[in-house]
């Protein structure tokens, strides 16, 4: 049975202090209270975290005025999202890393199903939330993580190419002039560079195959001297352990000397799946990585030193050796997941598995941000509103993360927004704001 949490005066004071620091980036004194109210509204136990339901709960006696205030601060006010996220990070990271070292920068993107064609960034594209192609918008983020907690540090809407080239739609949605079409991988790299420029403590970059399968993404991380563990597709070609492309042809008596690496019909790389299927059961080791709801999570893994074969026939030197991590559950007929990593050769297998599996924490974050804090509930169409709403959702989430790190909850429990029990006026009897269950 879940333990009932009583209101905490200390927590209330910590929340007020948190908001005081948060609103230093407001840019104008008139924005401070609306920004605080919007953040409080996102932490209320409401079915929908859009402006009208929050206004009705925050100011039941003057809903219209509160509605206007909340709408203005999120849709129109020109405060800096980057500055707000920096304030969140400065308040939350010291507590996150008090007992656990920062270990990872997690790159990911998340989709928001959305009808129509006028809301900024909406296009028919793959949406992970519904698991298929659908009308949606997608945001790319980089989160900072320890083994126990994580926090989004960068967050930006992906603008599809047809949107980026449409001057009329851009103007209506308020897309800044400097925003141009970028792939998700290019966006993530820009976010990573900005964190490096700010001096944020480095972590191992983690990402799924949507990023790891792009050789340019991996190459740029190496140029930035960042370590990574990145998912890849089973078709990725590599040179098996102990092999490499053929050296350039021997120099002839006349003509320019050959300098490019070679392959021939008898000397070709393998896909990582083909290589994995050559393994025997003795090559696989059982590794557990964390406790789940049904006990320790575990699987079978193999780790091989390989060289990526990507277009090495245009190179003078082979790609450097790195790790290929393979997961092959006992009940499966073939491997299920693959990762590439440039971590040191001396790294233990279990550590490599722990890092590869640490990406799960961002899935938890997005689940909470969407289900508990209304990340996908913004109803406006504009660029500024989309990002302001998301930044304030992350700010509200940051307070929850900090509280959880300060006071570890009992097993099976976790601090939720409803547990905060913020002091608020009672709603008017019978009032059902738009978007609430049973409203018309």
Token output for 146? 């320890």
Q: Residue 437: pLDDT above 50?
A: no
Which range, of 15-19, 121-125, 411-415, averages the lowest pLDDT?
Answer: 411-415
Categorize the per-residue pLDDT at 4 as very low, low, confident or very high, splitting at 50, 70 and 90. very low
Categorize the per-residue pLDDT at 261 as very low, low, confident or very high, splitting at 50, 70 and 90. confident
Q: Residue 339: pLDDT above 90?
A: yes
Q: Residue 258: pLDDT above 80?
A: no
Q: Name the CATH topology of 211-241+268-358.
A: Transposase Inhibitor Protein From Tn5; Chain A, domain 1 (3.90.350)
Q: Residue 126: pLDDT above 90?
A: no
State residue 413's pLDDT score. 58
* Domain ranges (residues) in the chain: 9-208+363-420, 211-241+268-358
Categorize the per-residue pLDDT at 435 as very low, low, confident or very high, splitting at 50, 70 and 90. very low
Could you write out the three-class secondary structure of the chain? Answer: CCCCCCCCHHHHHHHHHHHHHHHHHCCCHHHHHHHHHHHHHHCCCCCCCCHHHHHHHHCCCCHHHHHHHHHHHHHCCCCCHHHHHHHHHHHHHHHHCCCCCCCEEEEEEEEEECCCCCCCCCEEEEECCCCEEEEEEEEEEEEEECCCCEEEEEEEECCCHHHHCCHHHHHHHCCCCCCCCCCHHHHHHHHHHHHHHCCCCCCEEEECHHHHCCHHHHHHHHHCCCCEEEEECCCCEEECCCCCCECCCCCCCCCCCCCCCECECCECCEEHHHHHCCCCHHHCEEEEEEEECCEEEEEEEEEEEEEECCCHHHCCCCCCEEEEEEECCCCCCCCCEEEEECCCCCCCHHHHHHHHHCCHHHHHHHHHHHHCCCCCCCCCCCHHHHHHHHHHHHHHHHHHHHHHHHCCCCCCCCCCHHHHCCCCCCCCCCCCCCCCCCCC
For residues 82-99, average pLDDT: 94
Categorize the per-residue pLDDT at 417 as very low, low, confident or very high, splitting at 50, 70 and 90. confident
Categorize the per-residue pLDDT at 102 as very low, low, confident or very high, splitting at 50, 70 and 90. confident
Highest mean pLDDT, choosing among 84-98, 251-265, 291-305, 309-323: 84-98
More confidently predicted of 277 and 418: 277
Token output for 242? 């102990």
Summarised one tens digit per residue, pLDDT across range 279-312 is 999 999 999 998 877 888 999 999 999 999 988 8
Categorize the per-residue pLDDT at 439 as very low, low, confident or very high, splitting at 50, 70 and 90. very low
Q: What percent of the chain has pLDDT over 90?
A: 73
Token output for 117? 């064609």
For the chain, the average pLDDT equals 90
Q: Residue 408: pLDDT above 90?
A: no
Categorize the per-residue pLDDT at 252 as very low, low, confident or very high, splitting at 50, 70 and 90. low
């Amino acid at each position: 049975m879940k333990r009932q949490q009583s209101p905490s005066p200390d927590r209330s004071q910590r929340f007020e202090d948190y908001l005081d620091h948060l609103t230093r980036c407001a840019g104008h004194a008139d924005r401070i209270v609306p920004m605080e109210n919007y953040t409080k509204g996102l932490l209320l136990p409401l079915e929908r975290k859009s402006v009208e339901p929050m206004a009705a709960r925050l100011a039941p006696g003057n809903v219209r005025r509160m509605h206007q205030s909340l709408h203005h601060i999120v849709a129109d006010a020109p405060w800096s999202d980057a500055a707000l996220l920096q304030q969140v990070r400065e308040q939350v990271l010291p507590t996150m890393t008090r007992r656990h070292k920062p270990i990872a920068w997690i790159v990911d993107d998340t989709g928001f199903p959305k009808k129509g064609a006028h809301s900024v960034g909406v296009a028919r594209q793959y949406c992970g939330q519904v698991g298929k192609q659908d009308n949606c918008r997608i945001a790319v983020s980089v989160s900072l993580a320890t083994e126990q907690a994580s926090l989004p540090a960068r967050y930006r809407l992906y603008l599809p190419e047809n949107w980026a080239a449409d001057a009329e739609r851009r103007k209506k949605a308020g897309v800044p002039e400097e925003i141009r079409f970028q792939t998700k991988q290019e966006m993530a790299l820009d976010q990573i560079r900005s964190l490096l420029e700010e001096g944020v403590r480095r972590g191992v970059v983690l990402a799924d195959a949507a990023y790891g399968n792009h050789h340019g993404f991996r190459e740029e991380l190496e140029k930035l001297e960042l370590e990574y563990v990145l998912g890849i597709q089973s078709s990725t070609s590599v040179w098996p352990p102990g092999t490499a492309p053929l050296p350039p042809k021997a120099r002839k008596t006349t003509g320019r000397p050959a300098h490019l690496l070679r392959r021939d019909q008898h000397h070709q790389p393998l896909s990582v799946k083909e290589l994995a299927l050559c393994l025997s059961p003795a090559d696989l080791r059982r590794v557990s990585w964390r406790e789940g709801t049904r006990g320790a999570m575990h699987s079978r893994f193999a780790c091989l030193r390989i060289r990526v074969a990507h277009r090495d026939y245009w190179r003078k030197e082979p790609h450097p050796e790195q790790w290929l991590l393979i997961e092959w559950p006992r009940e499966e007929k073939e491997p299920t997941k693959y990762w590439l990593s440039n971590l040191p050769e001396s790294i233990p297998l279990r550590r490599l598995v722990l890092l590869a599996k640490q990406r799960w924490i961002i899935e938890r974050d997005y689940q909470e941000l969407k289900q508990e804090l209304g990340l996908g509930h913004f109803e406006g169409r504009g660029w500024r509103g989309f990002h302001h709403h998301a930044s304030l959702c992350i700010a509200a989430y940051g307070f929850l993360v900090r509280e959880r790190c300060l006071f570890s909850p009992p097993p099976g429990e976790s601090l939720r927004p409803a547990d905060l029990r913020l002091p608020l006026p009672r709603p008017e009897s019978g009032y059902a704001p738009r978007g609430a269950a049973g409203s018309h």
